Amino acid sequence: MVPTIYVTLPPDMVAVRYPGYFYHITEHVLYSIKGGMLKPVKWRKPNRFTYYQEPFVHVSHKGKRRTMSKTYLERLGIKGDKTVVPFKTT
């Protein structure tokens, strides 16, 4: 059996729709915890080949690429809540 460790993130971090991704409200950066440590996710710029009109990020969920816009992430912010996340070690 794999032990579960609970990780407490800073109060400015908010969990997003997909597991393993957290948005930092004050820095406006999306982080991924999938590799065991927090890594920033790269913002994509809109261009003529994409139909997005604002910056966005691509995330992976169950092997499929999902897209989240910057306005969606900015609307998540509820300051003061602590985000406690179960994290399984291998």
39-71 pLDDT tens trace: 898 888 888 887 778 888 888 888 888 888 888
Contact 67, 43 (CB under 8 A): no
Within 8 A by CB and 6+ apart from 83, the residues are 8, 9, 11, 13, 14, 15, 22
Query: Helix, strand, coil proportions of the chain in percent (round to 5)?
Result: 5, 40, 55
Position 80 scores a pLDDT of 42
- State how far the Cα of 89 lies from the Cα of 33, in Å rounded to an integer: 12
Q: What is the mean pLDDT of the chain?
A: 77
Q: Report pTM.
A: 0.71
Nearest to 21 by CA among 69, 55, 59, 50: 59
